[in-house]
Amino acid sequence: MVSEQPAFAVADPESDPRATYALEPEEVASLTARLVTSREGGSTTTTAPATGAPLASVPLATADDVHRAAAQARLAQRAWAATPVRERAKVLLRFGDLLLDGQSDVLDLIQLESGKARLHAFEEVYDLASIARHLGVRGPGYLATRREAGMVPGLTSVRVHHRPAGLVGVITPWNYPLNLPIGDSIAALLAGNAVLLKPDTQTVLSALWGAEQLEAAGLPAGVLQVVAGDGAVGAAVVDAVDHVAFTGSTATGRVVAAAAARNLTSSTLELGGKNALYVAEDVDVETAAEGAVRACFAGAGQVCVSVERIYVHHAVADEFTLAFVRRIKALRLGGGLDYTNDVGSITTQAQLEKIVTHFDDAVAKGARVLVGGVHRTDLGPLFFEPTVLADVSTDAECAREETFGPLVALYRVGSDDEAVAAINDSDMGLNVSLWTASERRGRAIADRVRAGIVNINEGYAAAWSAYGAPVGGWGASGLGARHGREGVLATTLTQTVAAQRLAHRGLGLRRFYELPGEQTATIFTGVLRALRAARMP
């Protein structure tokens, strides 16, 4: 997939430090051929964040292309929905194997498109393979028909079915170019849906590679359709589908939710987070500091569940700060396509500008820089050092707004109560990380914080990787959840079928209905009292 030239020509000071691996044109053409597009849509050229060099020419779709893709997907969905769920599950299991086998190629692709460090790219591969395995094994059980009791036990048979919604629209951002678009897609596919996928254009090749592997694993052609384009294309996707799974900013999520609501289309939204981490006074400081580094700077802080606020009990604040800053200074920043570096590049120019704006604003309002704060143009156009600020003013932009980058504010608190109050002082409620030597204490604090995800003695991976458990945000951080039973059933329609036994023979409830009203009421009152006495639901 890539040529053999080195990522950076750093040995010769006079050579171009932005020389990088180049994608093979044939490979790009093969992947982009999967896009549903037309001449009217034109194209755009993406660039490698780590170098600024041109990466790929991506054909773009129009609204008409979206509707054409939706029609093709709906035709293919009929046969896919009729395929037994365990056969659909086998496709996901085979996909997981192909993902692991081909990880070398896709790791290069993820890094080239997103700029992230290779270890963080591998986290995408590992996570997606794990999700595929979980859905392949547990998914059929999530979708199984269940029985419920009827009004009169023995006479009424009730079954609850989960039917595919039909066509699911998946719209995802650039920060997890493989995991998010394909992870949300396979949950919908398992349920018997077709998928109309719109990944971010900057990282569309990684998503297309995933789509290629799904077809190689046995997904019928046409069931997964991929389009690329701007907000108008995204709006067309929302209008064309029966359920929307959207990941992105809160502002855009509100627009998506409103558009879906106009069509009475259901939606699952994972939106922004101003995620907090609390360090209690009973912790092992070195362990907590190590965990905080991962929680803050994985993916260069461009992770929905990344920590941007740290609250440290004053009893360990000095010690924690020293350990935290020491570890950050030791992080290796760079863009090589190997495991050498700990933190990679920011992905887009717009995101870098937001990070720099938040940093400059905080410093202008009195914040102290404990570490970082440098735009490293010597490494590439979009590198920004992992940064920690203290004494951040309450009116600083980064105090309340999501930065979505390697910029963290550090605060001191005097108690669990003060920490909880500070954590909850936000309209966002996605992820909270709690560090304490007492699990009981951690769970007690978790009961009081307003967030859909809480990790005790971990940054975010513990909850995220519990694939049977739902993960999602509260408040301005979203609606619904991905993962687990809830994530799969979100893409289905619930159907209850109740059969009245023996009614065709003149038995069942008909004779009760023929009784005088007062006698009917007396009999059914007795039935209810008997059910209550027997503790029957």
Do 332 and 441 sit in the same domain of this protein?
yes
Residues 283 and 265 in one domain: no
Residue 207 burial class via C-beta count within 10 angstroms: exposed 0-12, middle 13-18, buried 19 and up: buried
Q: What pLDDT is recorded for position 25?
A: 86
Do 420 and 347 have their domain in common?
A: yes
How far is residue 455's CA from residue 423's CA, in Å, rounded to a whole number?
A: 14
The pLDDT score that the predictor gives to residue 15 is 38
- 26 catalytic residue (yes or no): no
| The pLDDT of residue 194 | 98
pLDDT digits (tens, 9 = 90+) for 5-53: 322 222 233 434 444 457 888 889 999 999 999 989 999 999 999 999 9
Is the domain of 310 the same as that of 408? yes
* CATH code: domain of residue 124: 3.40.605.10
Q: Are 172 and 157 in contact (CB under 8 A)?
A: no
User: Does residue 256 sit in the same domain as residue 279?
Assistant: no
For the chain, percent of residues with pLDDT exceeding 70: 94
Place of tokens 């959207």: 246
Q: Rounded to an integer, what distance in angstroms lies between the CA atom of residue 482 and that of residue 324?
A: 32
Known catalytic residue: 270?
yes
Q: Which has more pLDDT, 73 or 519?
A: 73
537 pLDDT above the threshold of 80: no
Question: pLDDT tens digit string along 346-386?
Answer: 999 999 999 999 999 999 999 999 999 999 999 999 999 99
Domain count, the chain: 3
**Quick one: 170 and 220 in the same domain?**
yes
The predicted pLDDT at position 505 comes to 61
Distances (CA, A) of 100 to 104, 179, 226, 478, 483: 9, 13, 22, 31, 20
Nearest-angstrom CA–CA distance, 284 and 278: 13
* 3-state SS class at 356: helix
* Residues 295 and 255 reside in one and the same domain: no
Q: Is residue 475 part of a domain?
A: no
Instruction: Give every CB contact of residue 372 below 8 A, 6+ residues apart in sequence.
Output: 328, 384, 385, 386, 387, 388, 406
pLDDT higher at 335 or 514: 335
Q: In terms of domains, do 164 and 78 share one? A: yes
Does residue 193 surpass a pLDDT of 60? yes
In a domain, 481, yes or no: no
Q: Tell me the CA end-to-end span of the chain in Å, nearest whole number.
A: 60
Active-site position among 113, 123, 296, 304: 304
pLDDT at 154: 76
Q: What is the per-residue pLDDT for 8? A: 25
In a domain, 130, yes or no: yes
Q: For 199-219, what is each residue's pLDDT tens digit?
A: 999 999 999 999 999 999 999
Q: Kindly state whether residues 296 and 222 are assigned to the same domain.
A: no
The answer as to whether 176 is a domain residue is: yes
Of the candidates 241, 409, 246, the one whose C-alpha atom is nearest the C-alpha of residue 324 is 409
Predicted local confidence at residue 531, as pLDDT: 81
In this structure, the answer to whether residues 399 and 418 fall within a common structural domain is yes
Lowest mean pLDDT among 119-128, 147-156, 233-242, 312-321: 147-156
What domain range is 207 assigned to? 37-271+486-492
| Residue 237 placed within a domain | yes
Does position 230 have pLDDT exceeding 50, yes or no? yes
- 53 domain-assigned: yes
Q: Is residue 61 domain-shared with residue 100, that is, in the same domain?
A: yes
The maximal CA–CA distance of the chain, rounded, in angstroms, is 100
The string of pLDDT tens digits covering residues 259-283 is 999 999 999 999 999 999 999 999 9
In a domain, 108, yes or no: yes
Q: What's the mean per-residue pLDDT of the chain?
A: 93
pLDDT at 406: 98
**Residue 387 to residues 62, 333, 384, 406, 537, Cα–Cα distance (Å):** 40, 12, 8, 6, 56
pLDDT of residue 358: 98
Cα-only R_g, the chain: 26
CA 140, distance to chain mean position in Å, is 22
Which tokens sit at 11? 């040995």
Q: How confident is the model at residue 518 (pLDDT cuts 50, 70, 90)?
A: confident
For residue 52, count CB atoms less than 10 angstroms from its CB and return exposed for 0-12, middle for 13-18, buried for 19 or more: middle
Residue 150 has pLDDT above 90, yes or no: no
Choice among 123, 124, 270, 385 that is catalytic: 270
Percent of the chain residues topping a pLDDT of 90 = 86
Only one residue has tokens 């995800």, namely 453
Residues 396 and 247 in one domain: no
333 in a structural domain: yes
User: Could you give the CA distance from residue 226 to residue 330 in angstroms, rounded to a whole number?
Assistant: 41
**Beta strand 224-226 pairing with 478-479:** unpaired
CATH of the domain at 355: 3.40.309.10
203 Cβ contact partners less than 8 Å away, ≥ 6 residues apart: 110, 113, 114, 174, 177, 347
Task: Pick the more confident residue, 534 or 491.
Answer: 491
Distances in Å between the alpha carbon of 124 and those of 173, 298, 402?
14, 11, 22
pLDDT surpasses 80 at 3: no
409, 309 in Cβ contact below 8 A?
Answer: yes
**In the predicted structure, residue 520 carries a pLDDT above the cut 70:** yes
